[in-house]
Structures are given as C-alpha cells and as structure tokens.
Structure 1
C-alpha cells in the first residue's frame, strides 16, 4: 500500500480508530432541525464520509446550554435532539468510523451581528468589543454563569455517551468563548477564571472534569485550540512571514498550554492557528500553502505524549502521509477536502490518487454559502455535498446520445455526469484545450489547485469514455449530422 502510515490504526484514550484520517469539524449549516438535532440530510452527509473510509468524524460546533446565549444555527445537545445523535452514531459505526461531537461553550463576543441587532447583549470573559459589532461591548459572564455552563457540559456528555457517541472535542479555537477565557487579550477577570494561564484555563479544565465525572473516566476528550493567533490587535490579522508583535497567543504560550492540557487529563490535542481576527489562518484560502499549520502541530507534539491532530489544507495524500511518517502529527484532519471528495480515504488507500477530486480552497460553496447567503453547506465543485441522497447519480433506463458544446468547467461537468448516468457523450471544444477559464485561472503558482481540478476532469472524461472533439465548433450543420437526443450549450461567458 502506498500510504502505509496514513492507514495505521491509532487510539485516542481507549477508543480505537482504524486510520489516521479525521474529518475536521465544520458546522453543517442548514442541516440542523429546530431542536438542535441532525436532520436526515446531515446524517447522510456524515455517513457518506464514513462510507468513503474516514477513520474519525468530528462534528461541527454543538451547544450544551442556551441560558446565557442563543443557539442560533448550531446543534444543541438536549433530550429532544439526542435521538438524532444516536442515529448518526449507528450510521457511521456501520462503516467502522468513530464519531466525536465537538462541544462549544458558545461564541461569546464573536456571535453573529444579526443576533446582536435583534437586541441580544453578547457575553464574553470580560467587557470587550463584539467582533461583528465593535460599537457594542460584550457583557462579562458572572462566576455563577460559568459554573452553570460547566455543569451543562457534564449533562450533555452523559447523554452523548448513552447515545453511542465515541468521544468529545472541546472547541477552544478561533476566538470562541473558551478561547476568550484562555487568552489574556480577551480575559481581564479577577475571579478564579482570570489571571495566570493556569487560571485562564480553569474553565475548559473544569468542563473536562465534569465530562469525565458524568460520562466516565474512559470517555475521551480532545481539546482543539490555536497554538498561535496571528493577531496584531482586535480585528487585525497577520500574514505569513510578516514582522509584527503578537497581540493574542504566541507559540511559547501555546506550547505551555499543551503541557497543562495534557496534565489536566485531556486525551488528545487538535492544534490549529488563527482566530476571527485572523481568518486567513482559521480558514486558510487557496493562497495559503498546503500543510500551512503542520509546523504548529509538530511543535506541540514535542511537548506531549497524547495524540496530536493537525489540520490546514492537507488534501494531498502524499503530504498527509509525510506528516504522519515524519512524526509531525498522529492524525491529519481534512475539512474541505472531504467536501470535495468524500471518498478521499478509500481512493488514497487504493492508490488511486488521480481519482481524488481536489479542493481548490475557494470557500464559495461552504463557508460563503453558510455565512453570507444563509444556505446549507455544500461545495462549489461537488454540489452533492449536503444533498447526498437527493443527488445520487443513477443510470438512466434509456441511454441517450448527448452533444455538449463547450469544454469549460460547465461542459466538462455536464459530460462527466451524463457519462456516469450511462449516456453516449461527445464534448466539442472549438479551442485547442479543455478547461475554459480554468486554463487562465490556473497560471499563478498560488492557484495551482485549479490546475489540479482541470487535470482531474480530463482524467475523468477519459476514464468514462467521453468522446472529445477539440478545435471543432458546433454548428447547425454538425447537429443535423450527429442527430443527438440532447444538446447542452456550455459555451461560457464573455468578459464585459
């Protein structure tokens, strides 16, 4: 097998995982019901990734309480929603995949602006500006409110274990509420939850203890956090290799956190970087290099003995294998790569790397749809994401002869789908090459992922037996001659 280390089993606590590939936590926006549970579409979405061979699925942010902050669009563990968690666990377990639920204390000062506009006063560790509405100052949670949240985590964990969930990840990343408590720039408290790093970590550590007390000492808990924030200040992020003074958490403190978290009893660490103030890191775009945060995990791994998960544009199998083989991390977490191709693990295991549909790092079909268009999660190059059952490509009962005019991305996708469905497909392109705008778009070095997507399409069309006719323009005469049953016009756009 080409990627031997990537497919070695590993354990987090006493939970055995069949390989070193995890699905990174992403909120399944639009796939959550009114009670905070998973809809059938959400269960299908995760189950498809389990079917594709991923070893561990980590769900998106899930709330445990609504007392101090509304749930908004997040999942919510309660007695009305818990049956959907059970259904999800059974579905992914069928394929030998483990499922951890990512729990959050809340968004705190980064809660969406529309919620603040509706009259809600945001909360945080201290009185700091709300991220989306900096003219509004968040209210500092009282000591008693924090203790109530701690208690809610224990009760939620007890429900989750009873439902068959394998473990929990605490969301201490990206400037959410746990992160606001653990970072000095946001935490100015003078009670037991403020002051030294140990005291600023008291909140998540008390949550860990509540989980272990209610769900059992052997119920694994992972902590996800940014080793470094890349912050110049409030709402101002730093770029790679930029000379600046870190206003948030720097690497030295992040490594000290790793030691304290292991000492407290966490079963694993999920090491990331960035915050809302530096989204370039928390949600790395195509301009960021592949494996852009592996160095963070590698440094943390030197300090601890518990498993370390790394994340950050790791969708190239050779890179993922190298990370594990060189001991820089124990598990690689794939986010958008598994949106683009849920069968990434199976294809890598079978040595069919060229079959993996690559993520281009565009954010258009995932983050942008959820946050700015209020639509369910999907993928710009895999529209079946989030619609797995609805968009199943079955073979047609009466295959048809399909003529496609235009060999850009739309024409290539139409040809691919029609061929999968059993049609006889001929694709015409009047230019010398397939690709359309993808050709020009893939020229810059930092957009080489677009070239990978173009190469993938060419391989797929060849494998599916699509007839390619280059330097041939579709005319009425050609159509009369070929007599297709269906014609698809995909001749592209003209710049204004």
Structure 2
C-alpha cells in the first residue's frame, strides 16, 4: 500500500464505538436490509452485498435508507418483528469481518418523492387514487412541511404534514432503533438534514412556511430532526451511536434551481453560518457523528456527483464545518482516496464516505490496501445502473419500473445486486470463441468467457481496443472512463485473451466455432445539403479541428457532452436540438442532465430547442453558414468554423444473430454502456 494512504486505515471512534478504519460505505437506495419499495422483510440480496463489502475491508457500512413509513403498503418499520430476528441471526456473520454496521432510517421523501407518469395517472384520477391508497398513498408519502410543488411533477403536489403524523414518525424512529440495537446493529443514522428529503425540507426556509413550533426560527425548523435524535437516545441509551446524514450547504437557488460549482448565487437553503449553528444544535440533542455532503434534490448533482463535478466537490465545506463542532465528521462526494487520506491526516475530516465505487467493485478497498489500484474496476459516475431517475421537460420520472424497483445495480458490473442472474459458471466444454470487435462489449464478453474457461479470440480491425469508447473518453474530465478502458485492457492481458489487432473480419464463415459479433454502430447521416462539411461527434472528439465557433447539432447526452467539452476549451459553442429540452432521453439521471442544462444556462451557451438543421454551406470568410429552422417555420443562420453532428447511431452488425452467432453491444441495438456490458455478460454466460 502507498504510505500516503495509511491515514485511511487508522482506527477512530464514534462515541464509545471503535471503527477499524476510516472508509465508510454510505447509503444507496437498493442496498437495503429490509427491502426497497416492497413489503418489509430481511433482504438476503442486500445482506449478501453488504457482507461482500465488509469482507473487503470497509470500516463502517451503511445499508440503503430505510423509510420508517414504507411508501409501499404503508407499513411502519417497527411493526415487523420477524425481520429483526432474521437480522439478529445474521449480525454475527457480518461482525466476523471486523466491520461495523449502522442502519440508516429516513422520515420520508416529501416533495422529493420521485413521481412517475403512472403515479401521475393514479393521483389525477379520483377513482384510481382511492383504489391505490392501500398500496401507495401518494398524499401521505409526498406530504411536506408546507404545501409545495413536487420536484418531478406538477401534477402531484405535496400537502402539509400534520402534527400527529410527525409524532408517529418520531415514535417509529425510536422503536425501530431499539429493535435494531437489540438485533446487534452498532448504530443508526438519521437520514435527516440532507439532500432535500422530508426532514431537510423542514430545515429549509424556501420549503418550510409553517407558523407552528416546526417552522420559523432555526430552532423550530430543526426541531423535528432534533426530537428524533433525542427519542432514539431515550430508547437506546447514550452509548448507542446516532449519526446524522447532513448536507452542509444546500447549494440551491430555489425550487428546481441548483447552483453549480463556482457560480455566484443567493442561497435559498442552508448556508455555512446556519449550517454551523444547526449542527451544534443537533450535537446538543445527542448526535454522535455527521455524515456530510452538500445539495438538495433541487441541486442534485452535489449529492450524486456526475462526472462533470469536481473531484472531492464537498470537501472544503465539510472541512469548514468540522472546525466548529466536536463530533466526528465524514465527507462524501467524488472523494479520491489519496485526497481523503491527506484530509484525514490534516484533521480536516475524520473519515471518508464512498458509495458508487462499491457497486462497481465491492473489493476495491482490499485492492487499494494491497497496492493493486490498477485492478480496481472504476465507477464512471454515469448513474446508468444505480440511479437512472430521469427527468426532462414535460415528463415525470422517466424510468423503467424494473429500474425503479431495483436501484443500486451497476452499469460497469453486471453482477452487482444481480447474483441470481449474473454469475460466472465454469464451462464443462471449453471452446474457442471468436469475437469480432474489440470495444467494451467485445472485451466484456471475452472477460466472462475466459473466467468460465473458454478460449476467446478478439478480432479488432483497429490498432487498439476500445472501439467508440476511446473517442467517448477523450474529454478532459473523463478520466474515470479512461480508467475503465485501461482496466479492460489489463483484464485482457491478465486473462490471456488472444487479442488480434488490425485484424478485420469481413466474412464470419471464415471463422470456426461460435462467433460473437460486436461491431458497433454507424452514425446517422442527416439528409440535408452540405452535411459532408460536418464532423461526426466521435471523429471530432478524436481529432478536433482548430475551430473557435462550433455548432453542435443534437442536444442529447452525446451532443451536450461534446458542447460542454468544447466550451471548457474556450470555444464559442451553440447547440441545435429538435426536441423541447436538452438530454430528453431515458436512462440519463437527473443529477447528470440537470448539471448540463444549468451549466449551459449559466455560461450563456446559446441553445436552440425545437430547431432542425436545414443546411450547411461555406461562407466567404472560409467559415461555414449553418441554416436552421424553428418549429414555427422561421429560419436563421449561425456563422461557424465547425459543425459537429450528434444525431444518433444505427446498429451495424457484420452478420445477423442466429445459429452459432450472437450479437452484443450497439450492433445488437444502440444503447448505453450498461446495455452493452449487461448484454455481453448474458451472451458470454450462454455460450
């Protein structure tokens, strides 16, 4: 292990509890011990994932947040005693790893509850609303401190939560915590003043307009959270640790308006001065630890940082809070291990929180400790598998139901939380299997085939592995994607995969045995005059021209990322998009898409929505004239030096799937990295 990382592996204490090292796995929805969006029960799949993390040297492990009032079927968490008995039987197995376990409890979601189009239909139809109430009571689930618009939908508003409901929540926190303590759990975390969930909404002036003892002054707005902490301490004793999940600053300009790193703005939520006073108030109530980041659902990219956010994005604010309070502080949010170790050594924070890296590689801490950083499969901060709650203009949470019910899966690791579907089964009849195409899909297929005992051969027509992913990883901020590409290339070497570069296969009948076709896709070409003057997005990323004025045609994720990178380089960028919003596509998390939309607005990048490209022509000054047409038929021209098209792709299979032939990657159907990797894994397991 690199000596600079040593501070991460020093013991520390929370109250009277000693933790073996300073690496904390923070909560992620879907890694729950008592089920997620289903009837409460002891969840074996969640327990197995948590145990795997604990076996690989995490110091403190926190399962996914557990609502004390279950959104599904309206169950109170403390009522099902059997699951606590099941938990008690499992805890000695967990504790044998040397790790400690805190269970995170949440009061609920309030106006942040992710509304889907189906939920909108249930709520807006009085008959359906009444019929659905025993299963999903949206009025109860979405209740907030004051009447408020939902983060995701204008059709399902939040009513004001009542005092009797507040009392019920406090009681359930206390009783659930008592049962958890009896089951052998080491502590609890109150998902409280964090991310714009219900308890945070009570704390935030722009949401909480109450005039009773839960509104107005700072003491009143934080009263709900403080009463929960006191109730837990009364039920469990002072020696039972209680952590608070805490957003140091809200980074929020108002309802559905976040503030980006470096942006000058007026804080609508919690600023540093209020945060320090509130944290002291909560510590006085009995809080033993603050598990910190920043943001709200209105500024979601702080709590769920996409790849565009700076590394260690919350560290400065968390370290400042630490200066003013006397209990341990954990910092989470794109934390880099070396930077976390340095901050711990300097006593700026007490421990470092990590979440999604454990989904990509549950063993990453053990590998880090052993000096095997190159073997860590990296999280690329895409949210495609773990948290792809998607939102764009006119659409509520555009997410498949299976994804809503199964969070905490991973785009780059098909096995995470899917052990019953994705697992390596050794073959009883090893074969040579030819893979045509050495992109991510081809390499994933080869990796799994090799682990099973087959002999994969990759035929790649280019001079290196990676396919289109090489271009996609070119942007300056995409270091994690370059790390993933390097990880795959290393896997090919370690598994002795036969890789044949500059080897173009034109006819698969020349190959003996099973064949996997992974030949990707081809860019769509717009049938407009002058299109030959444009650069396709991947070509532009790999060989950007010396162009100051750049027009990007296509405002989906690819186009927006091309425009973002060009703007970061100091180019003058304009975006032309035929839809009525940027990144109007399923599978892209709101944390990712809202960052891009708000960044372009902040930097005043011209965005032409509901606009199509009509033609490109050379200008007299050697530049280009880009003709565009609004949806109402009006036209305009943009002067440019380069045009980049990001208008989609078409599958380009070398051969059709059939007997002895399988398709993986975009040649099977254009998708994202998750669909490529999961499909490749499935195919490799069936050969």
- Asked if residue 472 in structure 1 is aligned to residue 503 in structure 2, the reply is yes
Q: State the SS of the aligned residue for 1:280.
A: coil
Which 10-residue stretch deviates more, 31-40 or 244-253? Answer: 31-40
Q: Give the Cα–Cα distance (whole angstroms) in 2 for the partners of residues 454 and 319 of structure 1.
A: 23
Give the corresponding residue for 1:49. 53
Residue 471 of structure 2, aligned match among 434, 440, 446: 440
- Asked if residue 352 in structure 1 is aligned to residue 352 in structure 2, the reply is no
Residue 97 of structure 1, aligned match among 99, 103, 114: 99
Q: State the SS of the aligned residue for 1:309.
A: strand
Instruction: Say if 1:43 and 1:91, in contact at 8 Å, map to a contact too.
Output: no
Give the corresponding residue for 2:602. none
Which 10-residue stretch deviates more, 486-495 or 111-120? Answer: 111-120
TM-score by length of 2: 0.68
TM-superposed CA distance for 1:365, in Å, is 0.6
- Asked if residue 291 in structure 1 is aligned to residue 312 in structure 2, the reply is yes
Give the corresponding residue for 1:112. 114
Instruction: Say if 1:32 and 1:42, in contact at 8 Å, map to a contact too.
Output: no
Deviations 1:65-104 (A, max 9, x none): 36xxx34799944324324433553442232221111111
Q: Where do 1:184-203 residues align within 5 Å?
A: 184-203=205-224
Q: Where do 1:456-471 residues align within 5 Å?
A: 456-471=487-502
Q: Give the Cα–Cα distance (whole angstroms) in 1 for the partners of residues 508 and 234 of structure 2.
A: 77
Q: Give the Cα–Cα distance (whole angstroms) in 2 for the partners of residues 488 and 312 of structure 1.
A: 39
- Asked if residue 183 in structure 1 is aligned to residue 204 in structure 2, the reply is yes
TM-score by length of 1: 0.92
Deviations 1:409-451 (A, max 9, x none): 0011111111222222322211011111111011111222111
Give the corresponding residue for 2:514. 486
Instruction: Say if 2:307 and 2:382, in contact at 8 Å, map to a contact too.
Output: yes
- Asked if residue 373 in structure 1 is aligned to residue 404 in structure 2, the reply is no
TM-superposed CA distance for 1:207, in Å, is 0.8
Q: Give the Cα–Cα distance (whole angstroms) in 2 for the partners of residues 322 and 401 of structure 1.
A: 48
Give the corresponding residue for 2:481. 450
Higher-Rg structure is 2
Which 10-residue stretch deviates more, 92-101 or 109-118? Answer: 109-118
Higher relative contact order (CA 8 A, sep 6+): 1
Q: Give the Cα–Cα distance (whole angstroms) in 2 for the partners of residues 141 and 232 of structure 1.
A: 24
Paired positions, count: 489
Q: Which runs of 5+ in 1 are unaligned?
A: none
Change (3 A) 1:220 1:303: same
Q: Give the Cα–Cα distance (whole angstroms) in 2 for the partners of residues 214 and 388 of structure 1.
A: 37
Q: State the SS of the aligned residue for 1:290.
A: coil
TM-superposed CA distance for 1:335, in Å, is 1.0
Q: Give the Cα–Cα distance (whole angstroms) in 2 for the partners of residues 64 and 417 of structure 1.
A: 40
Q: Alpha carbon RMSD of aligned pairs, Å?
A: 2.3
Runs of 4+, deviation exceeding 6 Å: 72-75
Which 10-residue stretch deviates more, 418-427 or 374-383? Answer: 418-427
Residue 414 of structure 1, aligned match among 428, 432, 445: 445
Give the corresponding residue for 1:424. 455
Change (3 A) 1:164 1:477: closer
Give the corresponding residue for 2:327. 306
Which 10-residue stretch deviates more, 372-381 or 24-33? Answer: 24-33
Q: Where do 1:229-378 residues align within 5 Å?
A: 229-314=250-335, 316-368=336-388, 372-374=399-401, 375=403, 376-377=406-407, 378=409
Instruction: Say if 2:105 and 2:189, in contact at 8 Å, map to a contact too.
Output: yes
Q: Give the Cα–Cα distance (whole angstroms) in 2 for the partners of residues 425 and 128 of structure 1.
A: 57
Residue 28 of structure 2, aligned match among 6, 18, 26: 26
Give the corresponding residue for 1:140. 160
Deviations 1:10-33 (A, max 9, x none): 221222222111111111079548
Deviations 1:31-78 (A, max 9, x none): 548432242222222222122221111122212236xxx347999443
Q: Give the Cα–Cα distance (whole angstroms) in 2 for the partners of residues 74 and 234 of structure 1.
A: 30
Q: Give the Cα–Cα distance (whole angstroms) in 2 for the partners of residues 32 and 133 of structure 1.
A: 22
Q: Give the Cα–Cα distance (whole angstroms) in 2 for the partners of residues 72 and 245 of structure 1.
A: 40
Q: Which runs of 5+ in 2 are unaligned?
A: 124-128, 130-137, 391-396, 525-687
Instruction: Say if 2:20 and 2:99, in contact at 8 Å, map to a contact too.
Output: yes
Change (3 A) 1:218 1:443: same
Change (3 A) 1:364 1:301: same
